[in-house]
Structure 1
Amino acid sequence: MNDHTYALLQQIVLFSDLTTEEINKVKDITISRSFPKKAIIFSEGSMKEAVYFIVKGLVKTYKTDEKKTYKTDENGYEQIVSFLKTGDMFPHTGFFDTKPYPATAEALVDTQLLAIPIQLFEQLVMNTPSIAIKMMRVMGTIIKDLQERLQGLSGKDVKQRAISLLLKLADKHGERRGNSVTINLPITNQELANFVGTSRETINRLFSQIGKKGILKVERNRIIIVDLAGLKEQLD
């Protein structure tokens, strides 16, 4: 297990600048955890106890919307923050923010994680400050990328936001074959609507319109972008 954990940590971007000795120190405080489909990994507002990295599976993070602007069929009102896959870290605030968890994290499928407890990590960086310095450099790049993605969605109408989301999911989760991309994610149109801040009916209508042009197919647990170039043209 230790060798396997070491190999997994090596592949994580956040630890890409660490030496073998430093990665081994991180490995020594890393815990393996498994969550079944629909399990809550942590809840928004609860004390941050660990930072997680996905070994296998899919995770959805979302914020509860007290104004009841966004609605789901099962979980009340929520605003989707992100869909995460193998290699991703969450929460995005990482190790250097002591505030409570900013969102709720839920396993979309059976999911395996690596967890690094905050308290143990703090002790580690006190003894080996070079780890914190190197990780903060990488975190700056990660946060900048996240900000650019969020800015990419602002100022657009619903159609542009929805198509931008599809393109983002295609890039992050898609399997490409030629000009088509299959997005294998067990997410509903309601969840997609929550992500872009609109209603399920609007998403249904938009996908139907794009589908009639032969660009998009929506099936159970997957979205097929039949014509990727054609979908990008819909942004114009």
Structure 2
Amino acid sequence: MSLQEVISSIDFFNELSQEQVKKLSEISRINSYPQNSILYYESDINNSLMFLVSGLIKIYKVDKFGNEIFLYHIYKNNMISELSSINTNNIYCFSNAEFIEDSIILSIDFVKFKEEFLDKNILTSKLMEALLNKTHQLQCIINRELVFDATAKVAFMLNQDLDMFNKLKRQEVSFMLHIQPETLSRVLKRLSRNQIIEIENSIVSVINKEALVSIFKGIGI
């Protein structure tokens, strides 16, 4: 795809006219990254507003003992950048970003983007929506780490990200949710026994969504 076609394929820009897409393409570029490469590290500073065109990114932090703490995944067609302010020309990175798959990134000169679009009240509502989604994502992380017990953590992931749950190995899921593999196994067996989920050839399907949601609904939500 051409640069303009890539821009048009991202939902964030679907309200732009062809002329605006062309203008945006003049301050943008596309970069490809291999699996397991790093996009940025915590405390890095850049001046590009980034979107994931294709692939998958893992966002994580590292504690003082060098242990990796998983935060969330970024899927294609989503904004990557973590903006704390639009009144500065720099974008600060508050976590680490690693590519889980071969990926393509759309990078936009943030200073020129503000001048050509945001300052003219173009895409401001889209940016606000993207930032609010990231705030909600942070709230989910707080719930997962500080409020939810093991059963609520598993139920929440099955409800929110079933495809990823089935894609990963059980040990990887345990690592993401910060619970022991044995605990994950017990929770899945209990959910299956209660006819909330069904497991066939290690693939989980939800058969009682209402009961699944009730496990975590109201707990810090």
- TM-score (norm: length of structure 2): 0.75
- Look up the match of 1:61: 59
Query: How has the CA–CA distance of structure 1 residues 16 and 106 changed in structure 2, closer, same or farther, with 3 Å as cutoff?
Result: same
Letter in 2 for 1:89: M
2:81 is aligned with 1:83: no
- Listed as ranges, the gaps of 5+ residues in structure 1 are 69-75, 175-181
Query: How has the CA–CA distance of structure 1 residues 147 and 94 changed in structure 2, closer, same or farther, with 3 Å as cutoff?
Result: closer
Would the aligned equivalents of 1:51 and 1:95 in 2 still touch at CA under 8 Å? no
Deviation at 1:129, TM superposition (A): 4.4
Query: How has the CA–CA distance of structure 1 residues 105 and 234 changed in structure 2, closer, same or farther, with 3 Å as cutoff?
Result: same
Distance of 1:39 and 1:8 partners within structure 2? 22
- Look up the match of 1:121: 110
Letter in 1 for 2:183: T
Q: Equivalent pairs: percent with the same residue?
A: 20
Deviation at 1:132, TM superposition (A): 6.2
Deviation at 1:39, TM superposition (A): 1.4
Query: How has the CA–CA distance of structure 1 residues 216 and 114 changed in structure 2, closer, same or farther, with 3 Å as cutoff?
Result: farther
Deviation at 1:150, TM superposition (A): 3.9
Letter in 2 for 1:103: S
- Look up the match of 1:73: none
The alignment partner of 2:21 has SS state of helix
Cα RMSD (Å): 3.2
Deviation at 1:157, TM superposition (A): 2.2
- Listed as ranges, the gaps of 5+ residues in structure 2 are none
Deviation at 1:61, TM superposition (A): 1.0
Q: Residue 179 of structure 2 is aligned with which of 189, 198, 202? A: 198
Cα deviation 1:142-199 (Å, max 9, x = unaligned): 22233334435623322112211221113xxx4xxxxxxx8563x3445434444434
Would the aligned equivalents of 1:80 and 1:191 in 2 still touch at CA under 8 Å? no
- Look up the match of 1:162: 154
2:90 is aligned with 1:109: no
Distance of 1:191 and 1:27 partners within structure 2? 38
Would the aligned equivalents of 1:51 and 1:94 in 2 still touch at CA under 8 Å? no
Deviation at 1:13, TM superposition (A): 3.2
Would the aligned equivalents of 2:118 and 2:124 in 1 still touch at CA under 8 Å? no
| Equivalent runs, 1:138-149 vs 2, <5 Å | 138-149=126-137
Would the aligned equivalents of 1:22 and 1:131 in 2 still touch at CA under 8 Å? no
Aligned length: 209
